[in-house]
Amino acid sequence: MTVSLPLVVVLGVIAWAAIKFLGIRLWVAVFIALFGFYLAHTFLAPAIDDSTRTGVGVVNGTHT
């Protein structure tokens, strides 16, 4: 059986757990999320996207 989860759901669960169990303040999580949105509009965005896709492919076993 194959289970498929969007990466944003996984990252959301990690962020929630960090706030809940590690004591990270909500404003820090919001700041990091906003930084990610701004980073997506820079010249680094294609490299980040390719690296993320490769990493997900490796975890899923579909990357050759």
Residue 44 burial (10 A CB sphere; 0-12, 13-18, 19+): exposed
Task: Say if residue 63's pLDDT is above 70.
Answer: no
pLDDT for the residue 7: 81
- Mean pLDDT for 4-10 is 81
Task: Say if residue 64's pLDDT is above 70.
Answer: no
Q: Which residue pairs, CB below 8 angstroms and at least 24 apart, start in 45-51?
A: none
Task: Tell me whether residue 7 is in a domain.
Answer: no
Task: Tell me whether residue 6 is in a domain.
Answer: no
Residue 44 domain boundaries: 16-56
Task: Tell me whether residue 42 is in a domain.
Answer: yes
Give the contacts of 39 (CB within 8 A, at least 6 positions apart).
Answer: 45, 48
Task: Tell me whether residue 62 is in a domain.
Answer: no
Domain count, the chain: 1
Task: Tell me whether residue 2 is in a domain.
Answer: no
Give the contacts of 52 (CB within 8 A, at least 6 positions apart).
Answer: 7
Q: What percentage of the chain carries pLDDT values higher than 90?
A: 22
Task: Tell me whether residue 23 is in a domain.
Answer: yes
Lowest mean pLDDT among 11-15, 19-23, 59-63: 59-63
Taking the model in full, what pTM does it have? 0.63
